[in-house]
Amino acid sequence: MSIRRACRVLEVDTSTYHYRSRRPDQAGLEGRIREICATRVRYGYRRVHVLLRREGWRVNHMA
């Protein structure tokens, strides 16, 4: 079965099938976020973001 036909049957756009992220691999960053959230359960996303920036992580497309 062709990709076009399969996408039509599933009612999914073919561009969704061919999508590729433009970001570099984020596995290290995601792992670090999980570590912070596991040790500091009460921290929210803003505080986690500040900690990541202090550690030198590039977050949210900022230099």
What are the tokens at 4?
Answer: 């076009």
User: Is 61 a member of any domain?
Assistant: no
Please tell me whether residue 20 adopts helix, strand or coil conformation: coil
Domain count, the chain: 1
pTM recorded for the entire structure: 0.61
What are the tokens at 42?
Answer: 């009460």
For 1-36, write each residue's pLDDT tens digit.
Answer: 899 999 999 999 999 888 887 777 788 999 999 999
User: Is 26 a member of any domain?
Assistant: yes
User: Is 34 a member of any domain?
Assistant: yes
Look up the domain containing 31 and give its range.
Answer: 3-55
Identify the burial level of 42 via C-beta atoms within 10 angstroms of its C-beta, where 0-12 means exposed, 13-18 middle and 19 or more buried.
Answer: exposed
User: Is 63 a member of any domain?
Assistant: no
